[in-house]
Structure 1
Amino acid sequence: MVEQNAKRSASRCPTHPGAVLREDVIPAVKRSKTEIARLLGVSRQHLHDILEEKKPISPEVAVRIGKLFGNGAGIWVRMQAAYDTWHAEQTVDVSGIETLKVA
């Protein structure tokens, strides 16, 4: 069997973790968004904003999501960091910053 590593094109924005929750995770557990918000201990509006990609998943919410779905906080924090970093790389002008070389 040939192992293949799926790589995202650097020009493509990583998926917001809220989209993963909205499209894959919450439908798989067959629970309402209201119930998920209650189980997470967050408001329905806060969860809605995450699912609509209007708010990031904070480390605190990542811990709650990781516990609720059993996959730990790390994956949610890494997804959010990848999303945030990609957007920063698209918008921050670093052309005036030199790159230092280690002697």
Structure 2
Amino acid sequence: MVGESAPRYVGVLDGETSWNKWFKPYFEMLYNNPGIKAFCYINWNWEFWSNKIGFQWHDWKDARIEKNPFVLEAYNTEMKTQIFNHLNKKLEK
């Protein structure tokens, strides 16, 4: 499992450039390593929260996928590939 991942120092705001610099290699790594069974993407504005709470993430940039139409569409396309499973119903107790 890739427990925590985010496009540190890249962010999403540069659209296709952001995609090619971080997301494309990230998904290629997932595809090329079948032992990876899960990943967690941290969809967060690192700069904002760093400034707000005083952590050293101010240069990690905005990783919120929904903030760039190109990245959002490309990410959603990747999520439709068959290697990814999604929970489609509520878990029962």
TM-score by length of 1: 0.21
TM-score by length of 2: 0.23
With CA pairs under 8 Å and 6+ residues apart, which has the higher RCO, 1 or 2? 2
Higher strand content, 1 or 2? 2
Larger Rg over CA atoms: 1
Higher helix content, 1 or 2? 1
